[in-house]
Structure 1
């Protein structure tokens, strides 16, 4: 089986770096170029220092599309649309976009949440990778939407600082973020649109409120979302519903014990824990925002698009301690 030739646009950022780390060791992929205007001509390991000794790749400002089977767009939000308007990507090259630009499925893109759209992803040429909060919250709700059991939803979720990207701002600076927690974009976060789009795909006519409170955490990576809503059945009913829905999805797991973020950091996993409190069902969902919430899921989508086992190159070890 031929290797998948990969080009990465915006390879110097967090998601680009995680893609490089995964794909360098992917047994069925070869990185043919790593594009970065700011770092062109420099070895990749000078920016992504964890890759020292793993690769001799050098960043390029060029765009040799003809060498690639697939390109990943890892630039900032709003930049992917601009990039595709300014650069003609051959029809033979597949595209996986990690920005928000095409998650509403415009421009021929398929929304790339495998637990929702696996078969559509297999046939797609262009895939819009989901957001990190969106992935974490959706995986807590898809089985309920599939069963038509969603009502009003409440979400409280916290994310690590890498979710904001590499660019320095007042709320990503170490002196401010360390030993600190804050709410931002309460009830208005940009990922709400894609969450609602997916839930409506499974539960026709879903129009209930999704009350979302996102928090900035004082740790580098990982997301924990606590999602709760009314549920008439028992805890055992809910666990059966979730275990049945995710039985054929290799990265989403149901825990019967309390969970924490370190169980998923550095992995492509989502772990869910369910609790019943009176009439409320509480679903706790944890992911790594840079992997299942970004680059790991992007590689999972690549595997599906090229007919490979979706777990290929993604058997990653969590940090545990």
Structure 2
């Protein structure tokens, strides 16, 4: 059994991470650190855990845990690591965007590997420090990588994607309040979302001399969780060729599947899956990508990365079924 610590335990991603680690057969939660909730039961904040654990939040850190998850707001992981040191053997998985880009990947002599298993599996297996990808970034990259790997990104990529309210975190704001969000729909950060940097970085790394142009419109949906993304770009081949290309690229992927049928969000919510669907329309390839933003887009992917780092079976703690009905 490995010992896991969680920093920043009161948010949505931490709640999902706790839920996954509690059912993981080779992991024990050593501590969940939260200055705002210290001394309270985990289930007082994460109410889906009532009856599952009596563990308490703590303001004490064990620096010798086997794996440490940083579930902190963007910019705060660097601040935390500047103030706290851990054993040289402790593996760290950061769920913020602090270390995802190449220019930020080396920090305090720690080299953070970008933790998208479908792209960097072998590097993750030998890594000590992981920068977990963003949720939109995960859904969009998985829709593009097979094309870039074969040098087939020939024109701009147009992306329209909608995410659930949990993507904004637990802090209330004008656009997360129920009376604003219900029966409503809006876009935000058009063409300049913070996940574009890591998307460009991964796509450009696969296709020589590519400086990809990705036009991304993110949207707020009036539902709790999930990301539904549609992308299209210039494509001269047949649908059969595109399907073969994508299925070959993902033949060894544990959680990414190409579906022959159209997709909807209920197929992936509460799972670590990414489902992809392809269509060809008059010289354009349309790709649909759907994930759960809190699992495949955050905590589930973090557990998958942990499994790879420790040599565990990929699906441990992630044997989840979609809430279809």
Query: TM-score per shorter chain, which class?
Result: over 0.9
Match among 12, 15, 22 for residue 13 of structure 2: 15
User: CA–CA distance in 2 between the matches of 1:255 and 1:156?
Assistant: 20
TM-score, scaled to structure 1: 0.98
- The offset of 1:45, in angstroms, is 0.6
Three-state SS of the structure 1 residue aligned to 2:123 is helix
Q: Are the aligned partners of 2:146 and 2:246 in contact in 1 as well (CA < 8 Å)?
A: yes
- The offset of 1:250, in angstroms, is 1.4
- The offset of 1:208, in angstroms, is 2.9
User: CA–CA distance in 1 between the matches of 2:2 and 2:314?
Assistant: 14
Q: Indicate the residue corresponding to 1:29 in structure 2.
A: 27
Is 1:102 matched up with 2:106?
Answer: no
Unaligned regions of 5+ residues in structure 2, if any? none
- The offset of 1:56, in angstroms, is 1.3
- The offset of 1:204, in angstroms, is 2.0
Q: Indicate the residue corresponding to 1:126 in structure 2.
A: 129
Match among 309, 315, 321 for residue 311 of structure 1: 315
Match among 152, 159, 164 for residue 155 of structure 1: 159
Is 1:92 matched up with 2:95?
Answer: no
- The offset of 1:248, in angstroms, is 0.3
1:175-211 Cα shifts (integer Å, max 9, x gaps): 1111111110000000000000000111122113100
- The offset of 1:88, in angstroms, is 1.2
Is 1:253 matched up with 2:257?
Answer: yes
Return structure 1 stretches of 4+ with deviation > 4 angstroms: none
User: CA–CA distance in 2 between the matches of 1:171 and 1:65?
Assistant: 38
- Structure 1 vs Structure 2 CA RMSD: 0.7
1:23-49 Cα shifts (integer Å, max 9, x gaps): 001011110001111000001011111
1:1-321 pair list within 5 angstroms: 3-66=1-64, 68-105=65-102, 106-107=105-106, 108-151=111-154, 152-321=156-325
Three-state SS of the structure 2 residue aligned to 1:8 is strand
1:36-73 Cα shifts (integer Å, max 9, x gaps): 1100000101111110111111000111122x100000
User: CA–CA distance in 1 between the matches of 2:242 and 2:2?
Assistant: 40
User: CA–CA distance in 2 between the matches of 1:263 and 1:180?
Assistant: 23
User: CA–CA distance in 2 between the matches of 1:240 and 1:104?
Assistant: 31
User: CA–CA distance in 1 between the matches of 2:63 and 2:12?
Assistant: 22
Q: Are the aligned partners of 2:95 and 2:298 in contact in 1 as well (CA < 8 Å)?
A: yes
Three-state SS of the structure 2 residue aligned to 1:320 is coil
Unaligned regions of 5+ residues in structure 1, if any? none
User: CA–CA distance in 1 between the matches of 2:270 and 2:233?
Assistant: 30
Q: Are the aligned partners of 2:203 and 2:212 in contact in 1 as well (CA < 8 Å)?
A: no
1:132-152 Cα shifts (integer Å, max 9, x gaps): 000000000110011010131
1:196-248 Cα shifts (integer Å, max 9, x gaps): 00001111221131000000000000000101001111000000000000000
User: CA–CA distance in 1 between the matches of 2:147 and 2:316?
Assistant: 29
User: CA–CA distance in 1 between the matches of 2:317 and 2:14?
Assistant: 16
User: CA–CA distance in 1 between the matches of 2:153 and 2:82?
Assistant: 39
Three-state SS of the structure 2 residue aligned to 1:109 is strand
User: CA–CA distance in 1 between the matches of 2:208 and 2:173?
Assistant: 40
Three-state SS of the structure 2 residue aligned to 1:268 is coil
